[in-house]
A and B are shown apart, each in its own frame.
Chain A
Amino acid sequence: MATTSSSNHGADRSAAVSRIVGDDVYARIKAAKVLMVGAGGIGCELLKNLVLSGFVNVVVVDLDTIEVSNLNRQFLFQRQHVGLPKAQVAADSARRFNPQANIVFHHANIKNKEFSQEWFGQFDLVLNALDNVSARNHVNRMCLAADVPLVESGTAGYLGQVTVIKKGATECFECTPKPPPKQHPVCTIRNTPSLPIHCIVWGKFLFNQLFGLADDENNISPNTADPEAAGDNADAGRQDVDGRDANAELSSADSATNNNVQSLRAWAIEHQYHADETVQKLFVNDVKTLLRMDKLWRERRPPVPLDTLLEQSTDGTNDDGPASSTRLKDQRVWGLKECTDVFRSSLSRLAQRLSEEQAKAAASGSSEAAILSWDKDDDLAMDFVTAAANLRMSVFSIPNMCRFDAKSMAGNIIPAIATTNAIVAGLIVLEAMKILRDQFSICRMTFLARKPNSRMKVLLPTELSKPNPNCHVCAAKPRVTVHVNTNTMTLGQFDEVVLKGRLGMIAPDMMEGNRILLSSEPGETDINNPKALSSLGIVHDTSVFVEDFHQSYELTIRVLHREAFEADAQFVVEGQGSVPPPAAQAPAAPAPTPSADRKRKAEDDSDAPAVVDDDDIVLMDDGSASDHQPAAAHVNKKHRLETPADDEDDIVFE
């Protein structure tokens, strides 16, 4: 089609780039093989920039599919693409910008075994456009192992961050420990909620108890072993409850193990998920059980059972949100009666869905029991949690919230906009070009702030930090100390929550001396999984050697025995604070500090870097846990990491 005099440009739309960067660098761009991990918010922008800048060998990996809520910023996707793989559509769309570009896509998880160290080694450059810390940790390790330079990035709302990681020259993504997500004390969730978030967490736990994977970590029933209720006498609270009535089954389960998880599911099955009876149990009888634990209410406002509330309320409606005149479904605060109705109907429909799933599983001969998984984008599940949480808020005299806000909390949603992603993606390519010129000395960590600092900067480049010699990942001989109760934690738990959950391994092998205690080969050491660490010879001050072959990662762990932990932690990794079990990640409790407002975000969400003053202090704002969390600022005199976070949904990497 190019029939004009400019046909010499027909094959290379980016030729003019060489006028700025020089022929030599442009040749390197053309020759470079680049991996882009993530094709979401940052990824769409980045792929466009890469193609226009002359990159022609690009591999894109993303495991996600396109959703409607992506379309406000992920401009390579359109309505008709909803449900399709992001990697594929992004590659197809970007190819139109330059048909000469060789864009290969994988609709897959970057952690898959197929993406080996050798596979990573084929690239000149890896560009992260991820939205979660777990994948970032993994790519960090793969790039260290393969010695490939990595550009790391993240966005959250108006804030963004880009940095460069080069083995041996700069700090790696894990040189700065990220605090684990905060957890709410179990007793607060089960007995004494005081904030909306406590009720939202309770609602999500309730969903799992009734329809999902019910376990200890998400028990929602009154906890009669609450030490506060018991005072100095551990039996007092239980005796209170033992003046039983309608709660016989509940109380007996409680008094035995304080673990009545199975009993709630069993109760629901026995009552065939009867809506009225479930409402009566959760919001009336259980509340009465709590009221009998009178020590809890000496300095707290006691809860009011739902039946009393319904009698008191005139028509049960308080239909409108306080701030907005809108009538959008999600923006309206439901009244008490509407909440009860939505709870009943969503409960029944979810129960029906569960039984359909079970029938399907049975028909296909599956041995596994079918369960439902909670998903913020599942309208029915979100209705259920909104209604359940609001009913509980009403019972505990906590102001109600609309579905929109409930979804923010329950889904740990990080706000995301096109402009921030565009800026961050532009910065990534500028760093990539420096790397291709071998100019690591001028590579920078750059923050996008919301407002100019005292030096007028809104985009703040800072020098890269040196590697942390004590990093548990990139040090020459990585070591870490873990405190754990060796008598109660099993090897299987250690594998799941410590090695994989906290230390980010994929398939660890663990040895003590010459003994192989844990093998990544399926089945080889399963017999050890239920055994306590101490029974396997891992006691106080035992060192174990752990290797993840896929990540080419070797770590010596010194295990120290400790009887008890703060809050609900099961273990502590030295230097990283207490750690909750991954299964029980509850949204972060609002910190009782003056700056809590800046951190107030739901748990998975988050991570927004905020820069306070450029060359002096870098504040990572927001602490929840999330994934957009960009590369962490180093905790040293130059940068202060206030709280890191992790996120889940899309972006920042998006």
Chain B
Amino acid sequence: MAVAFTDDEAQLYDRQIRLWGLDAQKRMRSARVLLAGLTGLGVEVAKNIVLAGIKSITLLDGAVTTDADLTAQFYLGVESLGLNVSHSPKTRRQKRLLVHNAFMVAVVVDEENLESKQDSFFSQFDIVCLVGAPLNTMISVNDACRKYCVKFIAGSVYGLSGFLFQDLLEHDYVEDVVRAPGEPPQVGKHETAQQALDAANETTASQFHSSFTPLSAALSVAWSDAIAAKRIKPAPKLWFALLALWQTQRQNIELQATSDLLASAGIPSSVLPLDYLSAFFQSIGPEMSPVSAIVGGVYAQEVLKAVSGKDAPLNNVFLFDGTDGAGYATRVSL
């Protein structure tokens, strides 16, 4: 865990060390990350975590570049269109990423398909990040990661909306808690040693613990069972729209908002109006760069929190709803 940290790195990472502290930075510096799915969202995540200074990132993607990739995948140029694997679009991706790698982050490129990987493949990473993966793949990779005690995060952007889900297993983290006289304990802001020194207030780095559940468990919530559903905080509408979307994938049917679809996905119509679902389905399309930036920013920050053990993670779902511009964090679990 101990990583040599130089004055040079301290200068490079100065503005973020002032936010999360040197210890968190050192832990990031030792993190080995797998990122599968170099979509627009994928490269946003890759860019953000490489900038932050991790140890290594493995970029896994066996797909061929299409025009839809170009709306948000800024490391690809128009000249990459239609190139197949033998023309190695991934190599191009790697080169560009390296250009932006002012740091000493090791970048590995893997052009196989995620689905072809054995479970043991995931054991070499501290966290596995999936982007744009189909539901079944998310579930199976999550389960494989559980087997090897590897943290897991997955997400996608659908046109104007996006989500992420994470399973950080049993996660310990540090949060700076500030106590002011006469005030209840508070979750810290930008405390640094400076501030600890500088006042009548005390800042203490406190240990916390958070328990996560696998995606399969989050999906097994029986929303149609009113009693069971009541025990759980109602999720934002977008979560149910995603359940409906995944149901169309399962049944291999066209995107169409119908009450039949909701019934087959076990979603009560009370939590998901059909007109909302129609609007969501209509907004599905190529990734929008600004939406990838928003979801990718949240996604990457969660990865950084996970590997640094600093600050409270969002347990376990984040949703960016393009219909109203709101971002939700909630826990979906039994």
Contacts and interface: CB of A to CB of B under 8 A. Distances in A.
Interface in B297-330: 297-298, 300-301, 304, 312, 314, 318, 320, 324-330
A13 B71 contact: yes
B137 interface: no
Contacts of B7: 328-330
Nearest to A162: B325
Interface centre among A69, A72, A405, A458 (most CB of B within 10 A): A72
A594 B318 CA distance: 32
B100 interface: yes
A401 B194 CA distance: 7
Contacts of A405: 192-194, 197
B294 A427 contact: yes
B325 A444 contact: yes
A650 B14 CA distance: 13
B329 to A, nearest CB: 4
Contacts of B13: 72
Contacts of B66: 6
Contacts of A51: 74
Given A452-B330, A458-B318, A594-B180, A423 B294 contact: yes
Contact of B326 (A45, A68, A461): A461
Contacts of A433: 290
Contacts of B160: 20
A98 B73 CA distance: 12
Given A401-B194, A429-B290, A16 B22 contact: no
A474 B228 CA distance: 54
A423 B71 CA distance: 17
A590 interface: yes
Interface in B259-315: 283, 285-286, 288-294, 296-298, 300-301, 304, 312, 314
Contact of A415 (B83, B190, B300, B330): B190
B159 A20 contact: yes
B67 interface: yes
Given A331-B22, A444-B325, A596-B201, A73 B183 contact: no
Nearest to A434: B325
Contacts of B182: 594
Given A413-B18, A429-B290, A423 B100 contact: no
Interface string A576-620: 000000000000001000111110110000001010000000000
Interface stretch (B31-39, B48-56, B208-216): B48-56
Contacts of B180: 594-597
Contact of B78 (A10, A402, A423, A427): A10
B167 interface: no
A19 B285 contact: yes
A14 B12 contact: no
Contacts, number: 280
Contacts of A416: 15-16, 19
A446 B100 CA distance: 30
B153 interface: no
Interface residues of A, number: 98
A103 interface: no
A4 B300 CA distance: 34
A416 B14 CA distance: 9
A422 B71 contact: no
B11 interface: yes
A324 interface: yes
B286 A426 contact: no
A353 B88 CA distance: 55
B44 A1 contact: no
A414 B242 CA distance: 38
B213 to A, nearest CB: 18
Contacts of B286: 16-17, 19-20
B72 interface: yes
Contact of A430 (B53, B233, B290): B290
A52 interface: yes
Contacts of B189: 157, 450, 597-598, 608, 610, 621-622
B102 A78 contact: yes
B195 interface: yes
Contact of A598 (B178, B233, B304): B178
Interface string A323-346: 110101111000000000000000
B290 A9 contact: no
Nearest to A405: B194
Given A5-B82, A13-B78, A596-B201, A418 B48 contact: yes
16 contacts: A4-B81, A6-B82, A10-B81, A20-B159, A52-B71, A69-B14, A73-B16, A197-B198, A324-B22, A401-B197, A406-B194, A419-B48, A422-B44, A426-B289, A429-B289, A608-B189
5 nearest CB pairs, A to B:
A459-B327, A4-B82, A426-B293, A415-B19, A52-B289
